[in-house]
Structures are given as structure tokens and as C-alpha cells.
Structure 1
Amino acid sequence: MPELSPVPAAQTDGGAGQDLMADCGSCFGLCCVALPFAASADFAVDKPAGRPCGNLRSDFRCGIHSRLREDGYRGCTAFDCFGAGQKVSQITFGGEDWRTAPGSAADMFRAFPVMHQLHELLWYLADALRHAPARPLHGKVRDLRERIESMTLGSAQELAAIDVGALRAEAGALFSRTAELIRATAPGRPRNHRGADLMGRSLVAADLRGANLRGAYLIGADLRRADLRAADLIGADLRAADLRGADLTDSVFLTQAQLNAAHGDADTRIPAALSRPAHWGPS
């Protein structure tokens, strides 16, 4: 299971809320079974979807949780299910696990990736509500949030029937408009790096306030002391990016998984709804 740090409870209408925070103790190790991974810098071995990871214990806990990064499972420490694991385990399947009820395993493993995407959308919608400049769109955001929350309470069969692609496209258009309103508050002319290849780029102390970094490849980028306030980071790949001393306090659509994949320190400023990853070192 992923290496998770405690996340503060939501304090505003835009807070994520505990239902969007991973609670591994209430999950049946679904991320360790339902999802595939390939031998790489992030995973030590290949594992197909539906097969339990060799490190998953009988109590659904990880046998190498305290040394995942050292043993070659860095990808596990970066993953965040946005609370989808416990929703499928405890709500969709009512606490019935796939080991004691193997007949439910296939349906459970199919439901988890769908729920993961729905909860990810709910996280972004909660984040949109956190930003005052996006207030003109908050009504539409709340309406979509209510509709998606209703979907998450459906049966495994109802979850399987959801057109997630169409839903993501609808939400994506709303997220784009939200980000535009927030980015417009940044001084000057914000940079447009949407989908840009910035891998390994030196961006030390860069003024990236209000920058469009949607889907940007920032793998290994040096972002020490960079100012990323009001920057749109949805889908940005921050694996191994150096965020020491960077300011991400009002960045848009930043997730815990992105922070978990990056490097930072005590001087890295992050949104209140997120937590400082356990593997980040001191300043």
C-alpha cells in the first residue's frame, strides 16, 4: 500500500474532506491488486492487473511499507487513490473482501479504477471551490460535484456502465475555465507551458505565477525556490522534480500524488489541503 502522510481535515467548502483522503486501513489492498505495474525505476517487478502484489500480506497491509522506496517500489509511495479504495471496499461492497468472497473479486477490481477516476474528479472540484477568483463558476462546480458524488454510491454494475471519458471531458472544460480565472490574478503575462517538455530543465527561482503547466513534463526539473502560485498544475508530471523552497501555496489542481513523486523540504510551501510527504528531507 502507498506510503501516506496524515492530511489535515478540510476547513472550507473547498476542502477535500476526509472521504477523499486515502484510508488504507479501511481498504482491502485494492491498489496492490487491481492495478498493473511494470518493472521500471518506479517498480521492482512486473505485475498484471488482478494479481496481488507479492508484498501484500493476508491482512491487506504491505509487508515492506517502511522500505518501499529502498526496495524499488517508489511508485507505490507516490500513488494516491483519493479515497476510492475505502469507498469500494466499505460502501460499494459493504465490507465484503475479495479473499473471503472470491466471487466478488472481478467486479471489485473493475470498480476500483472507475471509482479512482471519480474521486480524482471530486478532488479537483473541491480544489476549484477553494479559490475565490473562480467564484463565478462555483455553482456549476457544486452541481457537477453533487452529480459525481451520487455516481460513487452506485453498485459495481452501475459504476462499470459510467462513461468516464465523457465525464472527464465535461469536467475538464470546467477545470479549464476555473484555471483561467485563477491564473488571471497573477501579475504580468503568465507563461504558457501546457504539455511542454521541461524534463531536467533548470527553473531555479523562476517566476511561474499563473503559468499554464497542464500536462507539462517536469520530470527531474530544478524548481528550487520557484514561485508557482496560481499556476495550473493539473496533469503535470513532477516525478523527481526538485521543489525545495518552492512556493505552491495557491497553485491550482495540485494533488498529493504529485507532491509524493517530487522532492521537497521544510521550506517548500504547499496548499493547506495537502501534506508534506514523509520522504521529504529537512531544509
Structure 2
Amino acid sequence: MGSPIRSASRLLLTMLAVSTMMPSQAAQLVRIGAAHFPPYTVRPESGADTGLLPQLVEALNASQTDYQFVLVPTSIPRRFGDFKQGRVDMAIFENPAWGWEEIPHTAVDMGLEDAEIFVAQRLPDRQQSYFADLNGKRLALFSGYHYEFANFNADPLYLAKNYNATLTYSHDSNLLMVLRDRADIALVTRSYLSDYFLRNEKVAGELLASQRIDQVYHHYAILRPTAPISGEAFAKVLQGLRDNGQMLKIFDPYKIALVPVPHNEPASQVAK
């Protein structure tokens, strides 16, 4: 039988260990859907920790201890089902108008804006007017994306017939088609083109980016009504990252604009 002092010491050590573990155990797990959407998320199903979303999640976790944010791989078409069935609690870099209208959710304005632009091969006599009319031009598009110039109709047959479009699953491939004169125009996000030029400095001078914008992406976080974190709480965490400069550090290099979040309106809204 052990001595009372030894027993008390063991009890004290156990209590200290439990108290040390409590903050991490108390943190609520928040699962964020990660669908391939470069440069925001890059091939999450492969386990690669690349893209802007992993950087944001790291900053979210480092800034507080109430919630533990984790990534759950999904896909562009599958993300709605995963959300409705509770496999994920949140979708990020979304917009309520992108198919979420009939799905109950809370939308949190992230105060981030990107844009879809047109890119062509740079030629001596080619000006911005080249992008004004798409008729007769061969387009390279990302399969499954909804483009404003096509009235957001993502049907491959419609795009091929009406816009002479080739659809792929790679922005790099689409830009390479333009460089090799297999397509006249590719559509990419401004953030992706910025990232592409960082990775391919030698071809930056060979491509002409349009001043014309197909559409502006104003990013929201979409939360399940029963998510472990409320819209108000998530908005507060994001504001903390704005205040400490982390949002600017993550997104500014990719020309993703930080824009004001309206304070005279609710930070979140629930679709009925």
C-alpha cells in the first residue's frame, strides 16, 4: 500500500494533466469543406496542404482556442450534399447565389473580392478591344464553372455549341492552350493568374489580361444552421484576423481585395 504523500502526489499530477488537456478538449470541432478551386484550395483529396484555405485555417486556429477548424475534402458538385447531410459544417469562398438558395444556411460576409477575367496571347497589334466580342473565338473554360457571359449555364454541350468552348479541369492547361494557339481566350480568376505568373515568370509577358471582368466574386462563408459555430462568432474570428493583419498577409499577394464588411446589417443571414 502506497504512502499518503505518494498517493496525494499522484492525484495532484493527474489533476494537473487533466487541467492541461481541458482547453484542447473543450475546443469545438468545425469541419470546413475543401473543394478543388485553385488557388483557394488545390487538390485537397490528395492530402496536399496547399492553397489559401489551409493558410486561412491555420490562422483561424492560431487566433483562438474555442474552435478547432479542420478541412474535409469534397468536390464542387458534391459539396451541397455533404453540407446537407452534415459531413461538413461550413463551406468557404462561396456565394449564396451559387446554388445555395434552397438550402438552409447562415451566410457570413468574408469581405473578400476576386474577379473572373479573360486572358489571351499578347500580340503586337492586340488591344483590350479584342475581349469585347467573343463571337468566333475559341474559348478554354474550366468544367463545371458558371460564367456570366454564358448566363451562368454550365452545360458542356451548350458552351461547346454556342461559344466554341473546350472544357478542362485545369487552369494551367487552359492557359497553355492559349500560349500554344489552341485557344484564343481562357477565363481564370485574377487570383489564379497572379499565382500562375509567380510560378511561370518567363511567360508573364506572353499573356494579355483583360480589363473586362466577366464577374466579381464576393466571398462568403456558408454555415449549417446547426454548425458548432454561429455566424456571429465566425464573423468575430474573421474580424480578429483583419485586425491583426493576417487576412491581408494571406490574400493580398494574390490580388484578392479586402473590402469593408457592412456593419449596419447583420453579419449573417439564414436562408429559409
TM over 0.5: no
Query: TM-score, normalised to structure 2's length?
Result: 0.26
Q: Which has the higher contact order (CA 8 A, sep 6+)?
A: 2
- Which structure has the larger Rg over C-alpha atoms? 2
Q: Which has the higher strand share?
A: 2
